[in-house]
Structure 1
Amino acid sequence: MPTGLETTQQSRLPAALPRGATLGPKLTPPQPSAFEIARTEVCERIFAAGAAKLVLLRAPAGFGKTTTMLQVHERFVQTGLPAAWLTLDRADNDVMRFLAALTATLSRLIPGLASSQEGHSGPDELAFAVIDRVAAHPAPFALFLDDFEALQNPAAIGIVSELIEQLPRGAQLIVGSRGVPELGVGRLRARGRLLEVEPAQLRFSEAEADDFLRQRRGLQLAPDDVRRLHRSTEGWAAALWLASVSLENRDDPGRFIAGFSGSNAAVVEYLVEDVLARQSAEVRGFLLRTSLLNELNASLCDAVRGSDDSEHLLRTLEQAHLFMIPLQGDHSQYRYHGMFAEFLRTQLARHHADEIPRLHRAASRWYDERRRPVPAIEHALAAGDLDHALPALAAHGQELLEEGRVRLLSRWLDPLLESGALDAYPILQVVHAWAVCFARGPRAAAQLLDRLEERADPDPEVRAHRLAMRPLFLSLTDRIDEAMPLSTAALEEIPQDLAFVSGFLEVCMANLALIAGRFHDALRFADAARSRQQVRSSPFNFSLSEAAEAAVDMTQGRLRKAIAGLRIAVSAGAMDAIRSTNGNALAGIPLAQALYEAGQLEQAERLLVVYIPLIRGVCIPEELMISHVVMARIAADRGDMERAEQVLVELEHIGHREGLTRVVATARLERVRQLLMADRLAQARSELDRCGDKAMWQRVTKLSLRANEVETYDLALARWSVRTGHAAEVIRPLRTELEAAERAQRERRALTLRLLLAQALYRDDQRNKAVRMLARAVRLACVEGYVRAFQDEGALLMVILRELRAQPDLVHEDGHGEEALAFIDRLLREPAPRAPVADAALAGEAASVDNELLTRKELQVLRLAAEGLSNDALAERLFVAETTVRTHLRNINVKLDTRSRVEALAAARRRGLIG
């Protein structure tokens, strides 16, 4: 039973569980078997792995992962190390439900964590609030996650990956999984932060098999029988257990042991079948007929079986140790061991296939009576009962779509479309097309829309959906010119009382108006879409309309307002557990971009960890480009150029695969910028020449496309020209572009144009004009906090900024003088001395040499090395591999013309790089 404290903590969690669901069973470690043996060798390896952040027990079912984890958990508890347990299941792929369970689990380790999360409604906000609290926790702990293979949602897996990265010193995550999870295992292995326990290490040794069979199970076996059984099962724990059950009360165990060999599924089936055959007919019938249920309770089992004795049978099975796992402290809820359930379902299909539809129908009715439509529909579909499933889907499909449950809908509706079952339900075909669009992308959904248009159903609601889908799909596949006229025509034809359809089309119109530079119209359409929706009635539409308005704010330079709006947009798409975050990538990624602009790199990266896997699956160009470019810049800022290049290569590959030329070109443009930052000018020019059709860029520059609002071919060419001594050639074109951006109210683009123009003027020896140009940029940017626009330009801009700091009168216009000076100080990281102009220029040039000589990451390595840290300690402090540290030190020696760490530190001190 949970304590009063635990009950209170759970009550403070966000409303993240479906009605009637409880967390208690998931947070309680399974009860150990009375016959288990101590896995001493494996457990000692885990106890000794204090440096590992992740302990991964990876093996198929039946290898004893859970048993080993239970023993480790008990050992930790006995030694006083706080430990908590969470068993995962398929329902945890709803991110808010997963976060609720994770928060409740961690609350047992970190007092007050649950109550501190009040007010965090969106998945990213809640996740990172939890992770931040965990990272700040001063004491070690162990968190156990069992059945990790059930977790398939990339967003949920991304949250666990980020949690691992942020674990405090001494804390560990112990994971049991049937496969290798996407948790950055390779990176953790390279850094020495991973302990892997594989099937070979989980197999019983002969001594352990002997202990289990003869001591724990009390079987009268000769040593040769044990040896033969161990050899034939290859130490597979499940097979040994099943063999022990089969061997009970046998007069000639040696003969039985000689009758089979191998440890494959056929042996398991044979052994389990032998176990099943020894049960009474009543127990066999119960096991088979309830095997289709994911949860077992007396009421549900009675309904499926048509009897009233299920409670007694459940207790009997538990006492007989027949693979029953209690889920509730009061033993009112159970589930079967996964391997046993699979076997029972196979047997049911083999011997009683004709009963399966009836059993599923009974389960569906039970869930219907309790108003749980999702499992009710699931069982109805499994029963092939389309007379019940299709009307239920028609009744709940649009609601589930508005809640964002697009993966569930596409999984249900895909086979129904192929079978023709949806022919009589055009509205479900519409729901299917929407779901596929946001689950697998607009290209996949376009084929479904083509089929709908071929049918030309006369129903006005279906026609309205078709009219709204086409321009949206076109805009999401970068076919803007085709989408614009279609959206205008559709808006005139769609009935205004169809809020969901009208809202989606108005969001589409808002984005198209933004692209065309008609910002007033974009805001008007976003307002119209939002006014149709209450947050809880259609979070999908509400989220996208908020994101559309924030996109206008970003383009027109209102960064603070954009961040506020995007936070609302992200939260609006996940008000409770049953609402997916999949659609929220369209708001989450712009929020990451906005936070990056504001210099909040850590928060931006965390968002991208969650949303990049989602957007790769959906493949919407703007979000693809924004997310990958921002992630590459964050990696480069840390000095991890290998990671930055990997992200850009992935973006380029997706562009090639999907035939999206702008995506390919944008990846290359960002590579050009990073090559220029590294002074690799020839390579930058070569890459610039591969950046795509110049005619395409002429068109793109005239449009306000969010991923290329700032970064275009012309700006990249201007950067290259400034760097290579051709600054004079680009001053006039940059002025022309700046005037055009200002006329069009594209203030974010104008900001970067001012920064580039300041650099060009400075290189052309027009230093006073350069400083004044930069002063204007600072006055405008400081109000909104555009930090990265300055920092991403590199060392030369910092030189000009130092000169500006030495002339404070230049930034005292518009009443923002002190704010502007504080902003400059933040950019320079420390206040600049108030020196005369000439001296400041010289000091700036000297600083430029040092800043361009060593990267920020190399300077960080030097400062830590000055503290006397070893390479291993440096790697741990910087969260990189030890080989990466050696690479940084080698590069430092080359740049400083030194031969050792001692010489490098001395040279760095002489240059004033470190204290």
Structure 2
Amino acid sequence: MSAMANQPGDGAGADSRVDPRGDPFLGTRFVAPVRPATFLRRERLVERLDQGLTTPLTLVDGPAGAGKTLLVADWAERLGRPVAWLTAEAADQAPGVFWAYLLQALRAAGTRLSPGIGSPAHAGSVDQTLLARLAADLGDMAAPAILVLDEFERVPALEVAEQLEFVLHHAGRGMRLILVTRSEPLLPLHRYRAAGTVTEIRGAELAFTPAEAAGLLDVHGMRLSEDAVSALVHRTQGWAAGLRLCALAAQRSADPERCLKEFEAGQSTVADYLLAEVLKRQPAETQDLLLRVSVVERFRPALADALTGRTDAEAVLARLHHENAFVEPLGHDWYRLHPLFAEILRAHLRVRHPRSETELHRRAARWLAHGGSLAETLAHGSAAGDWEFTSRALVDDLAIGRLFTALRSDCPAELFARMTPEADGPAASIVRAARALADDDLEHGILHLRRAQQLLSEDTADPVARLSCALLEALVARRTGSPGRAEWAASVARDLQDAVPAERLDRHPELLALLLTHLGSTRLWSGHSDAARAALTEAAGSAGGAATAVPRQDALGHLALLDYLDGWIARAERRAHAALREAERYGVPAHARSGIGRLVLATVAVDRDELDAAQALIDEADAARKGADDPVTAAGRALAASRLLLARGSTQAAVAAAEPHATAVVASPWAEDRTVLVTAAARLAEGDAEAAVKLLEPAMDHRPAWTVEAARARLAAGDVDEAHNILDGLPATVPGGPALTVPVTLVRAEVADRAGDPATARRLVARALADARRDRLRRPFLDAGPWIRPLLAAAPADEPVRDWLDTRPRTPVRRVREDDGELPPVVEEVSPRERDVLRRLALLMSTEEIAADLYVSVNTVKTHLKSIYRKLSVNRRGDAVRRARELRLL
């Protein structure tokens, strides 16, 4: 050790070759690291460092491997000005050593300091006058000295931080300090932030974006799909070292994309890096905490204490976050581990403590049952294999309806698929019943429900579990067409609501919304329309947003069917579209959507003679079909399919399709009515009027639709007087919408026409047209027969009927092309709905825009387009528009 190093005080004569301990200066500490060939420069961060030259302090603060040092080293080399570099070490906690090295870094970079500044003579201290001389010297410089202090987290000494802040403050414009650190320094950063004199680049900003990650992979010689890059960025959270190490591992694979997808972080160089750089740098107690909290997605200090059995988690987690040790705050006292770090820690936990994971999940589940979310509680309860607890948690939370709503990724349906048979309490039986019913396994659903009710009969003081059973009873009633069972379930639910904590009902509005929908569907099936409408309207108006989207769209579909059965097809159409929009808005999966809405729209399309659209809607409903239909849906499917087949002249197929394929405890009066009406219409179309009469006359006195069809059958048989007598049994005004009233008016018009009263016939046809026009109801006019055509043809040319109903036969138009080739004739009339599509094609609207404008699905529009192309003998949109204009369709 030199004599100069032992001299008291600081002075200009200090030996510049050794530090205060007498050791030679290590030149490697004054040199920035060399960037690897695969280094990727990120201009957005370079620009932030450039901006930092306008403030005295720049803080580059991020976790290990975030790319901090290489970023600053690359920037410093490209800056074109001298930059002093000092890599800190643990010995720098001694103030004399730190300041000796800092002064040497400035001199090594060519900074001209006055000889009188000197150098610290003692390792443990530095004279204040030296700091003052240094600050003054820097303040007098024409251009500021730029100093990078790398790995500054190794100097946690408060004394050094205070001295550094003193020099930085008094150097004024003469110094630009860049601190590169894993943890926030002890400088008074709040002052710099308040004054706007600090530039900060934190961990979130250091993370690679997907575009930057793609660039990094590219310099490693790999080009991956956007999805693969996004997945890698999501998994690593853009962590630079993780991306680089994953890229190096994938470089050695014949299929890099698959390698990255199947990459096992726990058995990799990434794991080696994080275990060495992060985990093993921590005390043993902290390592134990990190390993234990790795089993949960997020945690609070109290949860961490529950997992460790200690009480020090709050202080440990605060320190880990301060040190950027891959512990990230989520707000409200919640933390999480970096996903890749957590993955590696879980793998390490299985090695270090192979039998601890189950117990940790069990502890987490019980703590989260009182301080976390239901989804977290269920996930950890199932991971622990504690199915009695997990089932109880679901039922106690009143969340059994979540097994049917299936909107979010944390839906418990799949989770409970792993339930083991030894769980046999009432809650487990309720969950098994719900899962079976959700999978359309009615037999096992009822079996498990009965088991749950048997167990609960011994504990009548459990209103939450009994309310869950009431929901499942209502669903069973709906599936079996049992109105008595549905009303009983609703009555039980009403009695239990006051005994259930109100906050749980508020938290799970889907339970009552589902129950009301099941009740309304069962009432609709049994013909109690007013009671059904009341329950369904309440369900459709349920609050709760996404939580009640499934029952709301289901209820709206049923209300649409009620409107259709009452004859209001335009109202039915609006309700059905509202059901579809509700499902689309909240992303209800196809298997959870009610098919009723599309089936109602299909039947409306038949009534409007839009047969291709009707078929497309039935096909869409069939494609989304999950399992067996409940009775109402089966009847709706039978109604739509049979009426479409009847409109197309397939009478035998229509009769076969008219019978609902569903088993029900009680018969449905309206479903039976529709089956008889289709069968009678088919017989009439086949020319067997007597068979139609035999089907209809037994109950026509109290069923107006049957009376109308019976009168039509008598007219077809040539018995006008009997048809007149049958119609006399109808009230002067038939209740219901146009789909019910227009057929009545038209059959009365036909009777008048046959009886030689053309004036009355014309008046009645005009009334029918006026009633049908708003709903664009065409089918009754097409089914009326040839007698009506002269009356329609006699209507003035400017009658509004021409806008929506044109049943006159057309003469095919032939036109000669410019190349003397003939255009093929239009052999089939373009329907009014197809004209609607054509008009929007002419406005250059896209398929999606047309669908939205017409309130139909994109598939329906595509079906219309195919039909238009076929009818106009064209293959493209533009040709269809030109051809339509030639034919005066536009």
TM-score of the two chains, using structure 1 as the length reference: 0.50
Distance apart, 1:687 and its partner CA: 2.4
Other-structure match for 2:282: 281
- 2: distance between equivalents of 1:701 and 1:444? 15
Distance apart, 1:266 and its partner CA: 3.5
Give SS of 1:400's match.
coil
Counting only pairs closer than 5 Å after superposition, residues 543-622 of structure 1 correspond to structure 2 as 544=515, 548=519, 552=523, 556=527, 558=529, 562-570=532-540, 587=555, 589-595=557-563, 597=565, 598=568, 599-607=571-579
Other-structure match for 2:294: 291
- CA pair 369-585 structure 1, distance change in 2 beyond 3 A: same
Letter in 2 for 1:436: R
| Residue among 699, 706, 710 paired with 1:753 | 706
Distance apart, 1:566 and its partner CA: 0.8
Other-structure match for 1:120: none
Distance apart, 1:704 and its partner CA: 1.3
- CA pair 751-348 structure 1, distance change in 2 beyond 3 A: farther
| Residue among 654, 657, 667 paired with 1:703 | 667
Q: Is contact 1:304-1:363 (8 Å) kept?
A: yes
Q: Which has the higher helix share?
A: 1
- 2: distance between equivalents of 1:776 and 1:452? 53
Other-structure match for 1:849: 807
Letter in 2 for 1:717: T
Other-structure match for 1:532: 495
Other-structure match for 2:680: 718
- 1: distance between equivalents of 2:420 and 2:866? 55
Other-structure match for 2:693: 731
**Pair 1:400 & 2:403 matched:** no
Other-structure match for 1:245: 241
Q: Deviations over 1:632-680 (max 9, x none)?
A: 446766753553242364489945xx9x999889756633321333xx3
**Pair 1:305 & 2:295 matched:** no
- 2: distance between equivalents of 1:885 and 1:503? 42
- CA pair 349-759 structure 1, distance change in 2 beyond 3 A: farther
Letter in 2 for 1:703: A
Give SS of 1:288's match.
helix
- CA pair 266-532 structure 1, distance change in 2 beyond 3 A: closer
Distance apart, 1:799 and its partner CA: 8.9
**Pair 1:890 & 2:869 matched:** yes
Q: Deviations over 1:182-240 (max 9, x none)?
A: xxxxxxxxxxxxxxxxxxx9687875547xxxxxxxxxxxxxxx445779999785499
Distance apart, 1:907 and its partner CA: 4.5
Q: Is contact 2:299-2:335 (8 Å) kept?
A: yes
Q: Deviations over 1:88-139 (max 9, x none)?
A: xxxxxxxxxxxxxxxxxxxxxxxxxxxxxxxxxxxxxxxxxxxxxxxxxxxx
Larger radius of gyration: 2
Other-structure match for 2:735: 781
Distance apart, 1:849 and its partner CA: 1.6
- CA pair 404-37 structure 1, distance change in 2 beyond 3 A: same
Q: Is contact 1:514-1:522 (8 Å) kept?
A: yes
- 1: distance between equivalents of 2:427 and 2:620? 38
Q: Is contact 1:367-1:375 (8 Å) kept?
A: yes
Counting only pairs closer than 5 Å after superposition, residues 797-812 of structure 1 correspond to structure 2 as none
| Residue among 813, 818, 837 paired with 1:861 | 837
Distance apart, 1:576 and its partner CA: 8.8
Equivalent residue pairs, number = 609
Other-structure match for 2:434: 435
- CA pair 907-316 structure 1, distance change in 2 beyond 3 A: same
Q: Deviations over 1:530-552 (max 9, x none)?
A: 65343894875786467546754
Q: Is contact 2:490-2:519 (8 Å) kept?
A: no
Other-structure match for 1:157: none
- Larger RCO, structure (CA 8 Å, separation 6 or more): 1
**Pair 1:640 & 2:638 matched:** no
Q: Is contact 1:596-1:604 (8 Å) kept?
A: no
- 2: distance between equivalents of 1:433 and 1:900? 56
- 2: distance between equivalents of 1:259 and 1:838? 79
Letter in 2 for 1:594: L
Give SS of 1:640's match.
helix
Letter in 1 for 2:423: A
Letter in 2 for 1:721: R
Q: Is contact 1:668-1:690 (8 Å) kept?
A: no
Unpaired runs of at least 5, structure 2: 1-39, 45-208, 782-787, 796-800, 810-827
Q: Is contact 1:615-1:624 (8 Å) kept?
A: no
Q: Is contact 1:298-1:311 (8 Å) kept?
A: yes
Give SS of 2:296's match.
coil
Q: Deviations over 1:801-846 (max 9, x none)?
A: 99999969999xxxxxx9x99865644589x9xxxx9985654899
Other-structure match for 2:348: 347
Distance apart, 1:734 and its partner CA: 2.0
Alignment RMSD (CA, Å): 6.5
| Residue among 423, 426, 430 paired with 1:421 | 423
Q: Is contact 1:417-1:429 (8 Å) kept?
A: no
- CA pair 341-535 structure 1, distance change in 2 beyond 3 A: farther
Between the aligned residues of both structures, percent identity stands at 18
Q: Is contact 1:566-1:587 (8 Å) kept?
A: yes
Q: Is contact 1:437-1:445 (8 Å) kept?
A: yes
Letter in 2 for 1:382: A
Counting only pairs closer than 5 Å after superposition, residues 51-450 of structure 1 correspond to structure 2 as 207-209=215-217, 226-227=219-220, 238=233, 244-245=240-241, 262=256, 263-264=259-260, 265-266=262-263, 268-269=265-266, 270-277=268-275, 278-279=277-278, 280-282=281-283, 284-307=287-310, 310=313, 314=317, 327-328=330-331, 332-336=333-337, 338=339, 340-370=341-371, 375-376=376-377, 378-384=379-385, 386=386, 390=388, 393-394=391-392, 397=395, 400=398, 415-418=418-421, 420-422=422-424, 425=425, 427-443=426-442, 445-446=444-445, 448-449=447-448
- CA pair 697-362 structure 1, distance change in 2 beyond 3 A: closer
Other-structure match for 1:174: none
- CA pair 294-887 structure 1, distance change in 2 beyond 3 A: same
Distance apart, 1:905 and its partner CA: 4.0
Q: Deviations over 1:252-287 (max 9, x none)?
A: x99999888844334644143033222123465444
Give SS of 2:576's match.
helix
Distance apart, 1:501 and its partner CA: 6.1
Q: Is contact 1:543-1:568 (8 Å) kept?
A: no
Distance apart, 1:246 and its partner CA: 6.8
Other-structure match for 2:125: none
Unpaired runs of at least 5, structure 1: 1-34, 40-200, 211-225, 466-494, 516-520, 743-749, 812-817
Letter in 1 for 2:706: L
Q: Is contact 1:543-1:570 (8 Å) kept?
A: no
